[in-house]
Every structure is written in structure tokens, then in C-alpha cells.
Structure 1
Amino acid sequence: MNRLLAIAALAALPAFSTAHADTVNVGMSGGYFPFTFVQQDELQGFEVDFINAIAAETGHEVNFVTMSFSGLIGALDSGRIDTIANQITITPEREAKFAFSQPYVFDGAQVVVKQGNEDTISSTDDLSGKTVAVNLGSNFEQLLNDLPNAAEIDIKTYESNIEQDTALGRVDAFVMDRVSSAQVIQQSPLPLALAGAPFSEIQNALPFPDTDEGRALRDDFDAAITVLKENGTLAEISQKWFGTDITVAE
């Protein structure tokens, strides 16, 4: 009987392909508070805790590799890293190239302006004739290009100083995800404000190479994400960094 119970217990475990200690190279920018950032020489944030929780389930060792956000997709494509944990939005173009995990963050694109300008820029319609900044390599440039008034928006791409240039009036607004923008405004000494409501739903997931090995690693991570959702760990990590659960669709 004990042997049968042991077999039943094993069958109930998540279907990870191996119980290995292989090293997984996880790319992130280290410059996207509060998801991934460096403070007192320590890499931390929601994404760091999330990946460490996955590794605790799968048995993998994790090597965090930081680089500019614009270089992450290229690094994954060339095999220098195994996945990216940096709020990577699922898009048809990316799905055609990579194998994605299930979504683990549900968010929206948000316009941010210099404090005092939120009344004149209260929707994406008001971006006509304006200069709008986005992070280089992010999906927000495409979201702006998909707007009906896209031809009337001057889009600038940035690696850094996107918040500072908006606060100083060098650009009229910037766009990033709703959760990050609210956190940036709360933490920043710069006079910034949210402008209107989020204008596009975003689902973030982990991309992997679309190969046998990449898909196997995706399946291991995906099974772990399911466990973290079901046992409440993912929600706890979200509450720690955001004070709310951003890991479920509204």
C-alpha cells in the first residue's frame, strides 16, 4: 500500500523533464524598476524573484545576464542567453520566432507626461503633433504605430533618460507599461503624471528559442509557473513589489 501511495504522489508532481542543476542564462536589463534593477550592487526586482522561484521548482541553476534592453532579443536569437525576464510582451511577430511560456503578467500601455500636462494629454488622441518617447527595442513603438493617428506622432526611441527628458519638456510624453509607470512616478523625484487610462492590453511571458531544447526548457518553466500560480507564490511576489496582483487578467 505504501508503495502505491508513493507512486500516486509521484504522479501528482509537475511534469518537469529533468530534476537537473543545469545553468540557465536569463537575460534582463537591470534598469527597469521595479521589475529588474540594481540597488547597492544587487540585482533585484519582481523578475529576479520570479525566476529564482521557478528555479527552486525545476532544480536549475540561474545565471542572470544583464545588458541593454535593445540587445536582449538579439542575444536570445544568437543563443547567448536561454530566455529573457524583462516584461517581454507576446506579439504575433515574436510568437512566430520564439516559444513562449504562459503569460505571467497582465498589464497595459500607459502614457506618462510632465506633471501639469495630464489635462491636455488625456488620451492617445491627444498625442497627435506630439513627440513621444519609448524604450529602444520595446513593443511600445509598435503599439503607437498601430494607433489611428500614428502618422501624426513623432516617436523617439531611448536607452535611458526617458523620464528626465519628459520632465524637462524635451519630449511631450513617454509610454511604458502601466505598472512600471505608476511605480516610477511614485519613486522618482521628477514631476511626472499618468495621462489617461491604459490604451492596450499587454501580456508578458518568457520567450525561448523555438528548438527542441528551447521548447523542453519552456515546458519545464511553464510547469513551474503553473505551480507558482496555484500555490500563491507568484501572487506573493507581485504583492511584495507592487502591492497588488498583476499576475492575473482583470
Structure 2
Amino acid sequence: MKKRSLLKSVLAVGLAATILAGCGNNAKQEATDKTTIKVATSGTTNPYTTIGDDGENTGYDIDVLKAVLKKLPQYNLEFVTTDFASMFEGTLSGSYDIAVNNFSYSEKRSKSYLYSYPYDEISYVWVTKTGNDSINSFETAAGKTTVVSSGVSITLAEEKWNEENPDKQTNLTYSEQETPVTLQQIADGSVHYVIIDYAMFKAYQDVYNFDLQATDVSPEDTEMIAENNYAYYLFAYDHEQLRDEVNTVLKELKADGTLAALGEKWFGKDTSPDDTQFEKTLN
């Protein structure tokens, strides 16, 4: 009897251990059930995407995406800071799930990437040394030097201008240097101008106070840069479900005032697109 009782006790303990182990495995599985979304960003286009004092990714574009993912609990968010070329290539290859860098729309790019709903309305300026009023269009920039990054909409527009106007070309210097470096070069005269988003220019001027001025890019030249004045997240074509999930939440954030609040935080005003922009995707 004692042997049978001992055997029953051993079996009971073993069974309990097995059940607990199984529960432990299930708990671990539940904890790791979330899908990690890898987000590629430059971290150099303040105030849209930058690195905070704590070493974390931040900026308007980043904060909007973080707000989106809070409403999509099935996903974890992981940011990868990289250059522009790697952002595009990595998103296409599947290394990254979303590319974030205040990207505008272009028909050429839309053949390779899916676009989210827009989350920001942007404007462009010609930045020159204070007192230099001679550069205010692609035509008046002929023969002048600027610094550009490969693959971005502004660069594509300048490349197209040079191709179509061989006798009025601008001198493009390709670099992945950070924007403040370029602004300093304009201030000291080694570079003549740069086209950037006004919010970026203001953010850097508030910090560095370079001897620079900004002139609005005309509507005609703006159309060469982008087919509209909005910013979007980019996805590979096989990420349509993720894009649609992000879009659903972006529309909610527009409706509940989150986009407006984040605009106030980063720009001092609401820069969210009109409600009509959240009805239909571009592709």
C-alpha cells in the first residue's frame, strides 16, 4: 500500500509539473505573440524624425506612428535609424515594414511603395544667406550649388529640372550629412542654397540662429517637387494589410484631435490634412 501511495504521489507531482510547464509555455507564447514592426527612419530631419536627448527616436512623424501603434496592440514597434538609400531598399526587400521620413507623394515612387493616408501638410522654402534674394526658383538657381540626398522628392525634382534644362542646370552635391551642416555651409558661402520644408528650417533656426533667410517655393515649383503638399508613411506592396490597419487608426487620430495636438506640440499649430484626405488611398 505504501508503495502504491508513493507511486501515486510521484505521478501526481509529475502530472502537476507537466501542467505547470505547459501553462508556462502558453504564457510565453502569448507574451511573444505580437508581431514586431521594423520602422526605418533617418533620425536627421528634425522636427519630423530625430533622436532625443534620451537616445530615443522622436519627432512629429515618430509620435504620430507611436500613437497609431498604441491602438494596434498586436504589434511591437522597433525603430532602425539608417540612411535614405537603405530606407528605400530595405522596405522593398522586407528588412523594414514601414519607412518614415516625412515622404511626399510621387508617381514614380508609388510604383514601388504603398502610401498611407497623409498625416501632415507641408510647405517648402528656398534657404539662402541673408540678403541673397537672387535665388527663388529653379530657373534662378541655375549654376548655383546645393546639397541633396539621393532618392528624396526635392532631389528628384532638381534632377528632373537639370535633365529638362541642360543650359540652366544647378550643381548638385550628393551627401547624407545632417541638415545643420548644410545650413552652416550656406551661411559661410560654400553652398548657395537648399530647398527644405519650412518646419525643418524653423526648427534648426530656433537652435542655431544661422545668418539665413527663407523664401517660399512658388506653387509651380512645388508641383515639380511633389504632386501635393502632404506627408505619408511608405510600405512595400506586400504589406497592404498593415498599411490599411495604419490608415484606419490615422483616420481615428484625425477625428479625435490627436493629430492636431501633436501638430501643436511640434509646430505650434495644427498641420493635419483636411478630413477629405482620409477617405481614399493614393494606391
AA of the residue aligned to 2:128: V
Match of 2:43 in 1: 30
| Deviation, structure 1 residue 178 | 2.5
Match of 1:223 among 241, 245, 248: 248
Hey, what's the Cα distance between the residues in 2 that align with 1:51 and 1:141? 25
Contact 1:115/1:193, CA 8 A, preserved across alignment:
yes
| Deviation, structure 1 residue 163 | 1.7
AA of the residue aligned to 2:230: Q
1:206 aligns with 2:226: no
Match of 2:208 among 182, 188, 197: 188
TM-score (norm 2): 0.74
| Deviation, structure 1 residue 79 | 1.0
| Deviation, structure 1 residue 149 | 5.0
The structure with the largest helix share of the pair is: 2
Change (3 A) 1:123 1:186: farther
1:122 aligns with 2:136: yes
Contact 1:121/1:196, CA 8 A, preserved across alignment:
no
Identity of aligned residues (%): 25
CA deviations 1:5-64 (Å, max 9, x no partner) are xxxxxxxxxxxxxxx832111111111111111132232111221111000111121101
Hey, what's the Cα distance between the residues in 2 that align with 1:94 and 1:125? 25
CA deviations 1:145-172 (Å, max 9, x no partner) are 3447574211222211222222221110
Contact 2:147/2:182, CA 8 A, preserved across alignment:
yes
CA deviations 1:81-118 (Å, max 9, x no partner) are 1011111121111111111111112223321112222x
Match of 2:15 in 1: none
| Deviation, structure 1 residue 229 | 0.5
* Correspondence list, 1:57-72, <5 A: 57-59=71-73, 60-72=75-87
Aligned residues: 228
Aligned-pair Cα RMSD in Å: 2.1
1:73 aligns with 2:63: no
Runs of 5+ in structure 1 lacking a partner? 1-19
AA of the residue aligned to 2:236: P
Match of 1:87 in 2: 102
1:109 aligns with 2:124: yes
TM-score (norm 1): 0.83
Hey, what's the Cα distance between the residues in 1 that align with 2:52 and 2:250? 26
Give the match's secondary structure for 2:273: coil
Larger Rg, first or second structure (1 or 2): 2
Hey, what's the Cα distance between the residues in 2 that align with 1:115 and 1:167? 8
